[in-house]
Structure 1
Amino acid sequence: MARNILHIDQNCFYASVEMQRHPELRGRPLAVCGNQEERHGIVLAANYLAKPFGVKTGMAIWQAKQKCPNLIVLAPDMAEYIRFSKMAREIYADYTDQIEPFGLDEAWLDVTGSAVIAGDAMHIAQEISRRIQFELGLTVSIGVSDNKITAKLGSDYKKPNAITRIEKDNYKEIVYPLPVEDLLYVGPATKENLRRAGITTIGALAESPVEFLHRRLGKMGVILHTFANGRDISPVQTTEYVPTIKSVGNSATTPRDLCNNGDVRLMLLLLAESVCARMRELMSRCTVVEVYVRDTELRSFIRQCKLPSPSCSSAEMADAAYALFLANYHWEKPIRSIGIRGSGIVENGMYEQTSLFPDEQRRERWERIDKAVDDIRHRYGYMSLQRALIYTDPLLGSINPKDDHTIHPVGYFA
């Protein structure tokens, strides 16, 4: 039986919530932006009156104001956005329990089993759209299809406040001419790789030989070929579904630019402590360490390496990340933000190849030390016990990357 899948995208969500809270700002170009003093001074969301001026998500505030001198800039209120997101999901829950969030402002709904009670998928989409506008004062764009990937293409196809149905009878007409980067999981690197092969539209991707795509992109080439042809069997998870955690990471835009290896070493150690503390809370270890670096010109890279054995030692993680950094960064520009991630997560107690050599014994000692530090900080506060290295730079050392870690609308560590 064909499924009925909706993808709902709340239009300019953060900016729309602010206009709902501040009616006097309606009719004026508006952007929700990060805190410049904390060096998060970028546009998180802009309303539709600001976008024609060229104001875009991820743009620096000063650039946005150059393009739109009358731009109203507001600080984000994440608690309020979370509240509106929960209210929207309460509306979705009236139609199905299969609700899979995709960020605060987007969600997939499987309404296949709701047709008998609530009507077909288009009727449900229209009703949800009306209710969101009436009850929350916001607008949504909704894609209607038989799978998640195509439904998201539908919600992106026409904005704001629109419903687009894309199914077998009109799939090629609507989807094939779209740019290949409109397809979920086609990022900048994949887009460039496909462009070099002469593939610039979803239709060209769909009609390319799957063997060629496999040679060029590996397993992801086969997956993207399937998605481009409108085939996706992944289920919409139920509301109670808790995903398996595959990685734990943390990144920070630093209080000042990092200018030397010592600065980087300090920040990686701080971040590794927070990541390893989270892994211990999850009773897990990582097998792969990733490091992320972004310079002052917003150029970035990610590198990773495999650990000899699963670990949640902050010293070992910081050492591995620092070695990756030294091998890949040549100080053309200072560094604005940096991050670290442990992936290939395994549970504590899983079978592993043990060793009697000093490296294994050293890892176990460091993990016991980290656990003791966790206990002290839990009782007396994060700043009650610090490494001596942290005091070499009071500004960088003042960061509490675990307790102060926030999820920003624009993710740079992916």
Structure 2
Amino acid sequence: MDYTAYPRNDVLCIDMRSFYASVEAVKLGLDPMKALLAVVGDPNRSGSIVLAASPALKEKYGISNVSRFFELPIHDPALIIVQAHMGDYIHVSVEITKLLMEYAPKEAIHPYSIDEIWVTVNGLEKLFGDPCQIARKIRAEILESFGITCSIGIGDNKFLAKVVMDLHAKKQGIAVCRYEDVSEKLWPAPIEKIWGIGNRMKKNLNRMGIITLGQLAGSDLKYLKKRFGVMGEQLYWHAWGIDLSPVFGDFIKTEQKSFGHGMTLLRDYSESEIGICILELCEETCRRARTAKQAGKTIHLGIGYSKESSGGFSRSRSIITPTNITMDMYEVCMQLFRTFYDGSSSIRRVYVTLGHLYDDDQTQLNLFEDISKRKNLGFVMDNIREKYGSTAILRASSYLPGGIAIDRSKKIGGHFA
């Protein structure tokens, strides 16, 4: 492969090791790399997910981020179990980003998740040294300032930086992969270890006899495109270490295509009480749409049954006039529910979506119905909640046993703040 035509940058991919567990360990005055610590969503539920396990706990007992609370080695007196505090993790993540702004401009920093971030350090040699020296300085300063160990991958683009971080930096601390290093450092890796290749794609590629990234690089590009479309082409170029995604600019500005909310319920819900959840999810979805001055014509409802029942449905319906009024969306969702619900299964997951968006000020009012009062009521409720909190004004149904709004108000991303 001739790489002369492809851009070369100095991109760092920084990953905080066991971020949630590390933050909790530091709060307790413990060494994040040595403590046996697990962060769980809700310690009062045996089936609660382990959100993070310290490196020592992973190594000693094989606990991972897909383990459950009941799988933890509670017989070990050294084990520490703490409840997740999402507010703390967000705060530390923001402070780490502020630290990185001392090394690179805002336009060169691209947060990927709460514990992972790309930083492009082109042209900073005179200030901080070469990319490896910059990585060492950042790693040392994060450890000194926050007590958290991080791994850093360095590459000519985001893909190379990310993959070399996953494959090598998590063991070495800092690892580098340039275009010329791809065959040596990346090709021997199993495809499931490569960022962007999920379980389904792994199975598809394995059926084609492709086990390693090197075998993917040696595949026929035309066949990959025919089999997988644009994704097949992207996989091929990634296998050669080529990634043309931007390394500077506004990375988070995207066009909003829909508004939606959903959740996995803490218990099985019956037909008689699921309507309360649907109403509250519609309320939040329409609030976001109103805030963005958008209205939608397509309303979608998804229902997932409990494990005992399995299955569910996902259906949508379009309306004539775009709306962001809660009760309009709720009524359509309930029509969908009554039409497609099997009548007996317990419900464990629910989500709603408002799509096919229009600018709210461009939508036409129904001449035979005065909806301005209902729209104004929604804006008034939004303003009260924005000023005094999400539970400052609630529907009476939210106080019934099936209500979820009060519990959700205490959480960030589905976990306690």
Q: 1:289, CA displacement in angstroms?
A: 4.8
Q: C-alpha distance in 2, partners of 1:75/1:14?
A: 10
Distance 2:259 2:228 in 1: 26
Aligned to 2:351: 339
- 2:51 corresponds in structure 1 to 44
Matched, 1:29 2:36: yes
Question: Counterparts of 2:380 and 2:74 in 1: how far apart (Å)?
Answer: 50
* Among 147, 165, 190, the residue aligned to 1:179: 190
Preserved CA contact (<8 Å) 1:270 1:401: no
Shift of 1:274: 0.7
SS in 2 for 1:208: coil
- What is the TM-score normalised by the length of structure 1? 0.81
The structural deviation recorded for 1:17 is 1.3
Task: Work out whether 1:258 is the aligned partner of 2:258.
Answer: no
How high is the sequence identity, in percent, across the aligned residues? 26
> 1:82 is matched with which residue?
90
Q: Count the aligned residue pairs.
A: 399
Match of 1:145 in 2: 155
CA separation of 1:367 and 1:59: change in aligned 2, threshold 3 A: farther
1:304-335 deviation line (CA, Å, top 9, x unaligned): 64735654343454466567767877689643
Aligned to 1:106: 116
Question: In structure 2, what residue type is equivalent to 1:216?
Answer: R
Shift of 1:248: 2.9
Q: Cα distance 1:162–1:222, how it changes in 2: closer, same or farther (>3 A)?
A: same
Match in the other structure for 2:243: 232
Q: Using the alignment, how far apart are the partners of 2:91 and 2:376 within structure 1?
A: 35
Aligned to 1:93: 101
**C-alpha separation between the residues in 2 aligned to 1:386 and 1:330?**
28
Secondary structure at the aligned position of 1:23 is classed as coil
1:373 aligns with 2:384: no
Residues 352-396 of structure 1: CA distance to partner in whole angstroms, max 9, x if unpaired?
8x7xxxxx8499866862541341464487574637xx37x8111
Of the two, which has the highest radius of gyration? 2
Partner of 1:275: 285
Q: Which of 125, 141, 146 matches 1:115?
A: 125
Change (3 A) 1:249 1:2: same
Match of 1:4 among 7, 10, 14: 10
Aligned-residue offset at 1:161: 6.0
| Corresponding residue SS for 2:242 | coil
| Equivalent pair of 1:312/1:367 in contact (CA under 8 Å) | no
* Counterparts of 1:39 and 1:396, CA distance in 2: 21
Unaligned 5+ runs, structure 2: 1-6
> In the TM superposition, what is the alpha-carbon distance from 1:8 to its structure 2 partner?
0.4
- Structure 1 gaps of 5+ residues are 355-359, 410-414
Equivalent residue runs for 1:151-162 within 5 Å = 151-158=161-168, 159-160=170-171, 162=173
Change over 3 Å in CA distance of 1:48–1:333 after alignment to 2: farther
